[in-house]
């Protein structure tokens, strides 16, 4: 259908749809990895702009997922010692790695202003979203 629409535009639409549809998804973004530089780069988002458009592997929740290849669900960001604050309103965060042909190429990152809102259902749903996204990369 929309063959002419760029991947960046489609990623932004996914972010906007998720942020608008799910009340406790206050900020939704996709970071992509530069494996040579060992950095994550913000490619699309919905919500308030963030200063953290480049994140080194290992830093913050996002940087840890770049290295672990595993979901990271944070019920309370204040309890994390390796955390990068983007907004004073954020209480919880979920980061799900995005795999393309078995390689961890990036991640979806969601911040919530609600305390402890994320369940295993969010993990399964966002894993599904990432599988669909990997098909357009």
The site map against ligand SME for 31-50 (x = CB under 6 A) is -------------------x
Other Cβ atoms within 10 Å of 128 Cβ, number: 11
> What kind and span of H or E run contains 40?
strand 39-46
The stretch near ligand SME (CB under 6 A) out of 17-25, 59-67, 113-121, 124-132 is 59-67
83 counts as binding ligand SME under rule CB under 6 A: yes
* Rg of the chain over all Cα atoms, to the nearest angstrom: 14
Shortest Å distance, C-beta 61 to ligand SME: 4
3-state SS assignment for residue 8: helix
Measured in whole angstroms, how far is the alpha carbon of residue 24 from the centre of its chain? Answer: 14
Binding residue for ligand SME (CB under 6 A) from 12, 96, 111, 130? Answer: 111
Pair 98, 134: CB distance under 8 Å: yes
Q: Rule CB under 6 A: which residues touch ligand SME?
A: 27, 29, 50, 52, 55, 60-63, 83-84, 86, 93, 109, 111
């Amino acid at each position: 259908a929309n063959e002419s629409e760029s991947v960046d535009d489609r990623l932004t639409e996914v972010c906007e749809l998720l942020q608008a549809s799910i009340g406790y998804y206050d900020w939704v973004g996709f970071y992509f990895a530069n494996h040579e530089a060992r950095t994550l780069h913000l490619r699309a988002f919905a919500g308030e702009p963030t200063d953290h458009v480049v994140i080194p592997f290992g830093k913050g929740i996002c940087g840890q997922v770049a290295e672990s290849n595993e979901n990271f669900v944070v019920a309370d960001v204040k309890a994390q010692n390796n955390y990068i604050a983007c907004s004073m309103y954020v209480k919880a965060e979920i980061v799900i790695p995005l795999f393309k042909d078995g390689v961890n190429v990036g991640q979806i990152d969601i911040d919530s202003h609600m305390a402890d809102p994320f369940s295993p259902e969010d993990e399964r749903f966002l894993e599904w979203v990432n599988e669909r996204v990997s098909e357009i990369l």
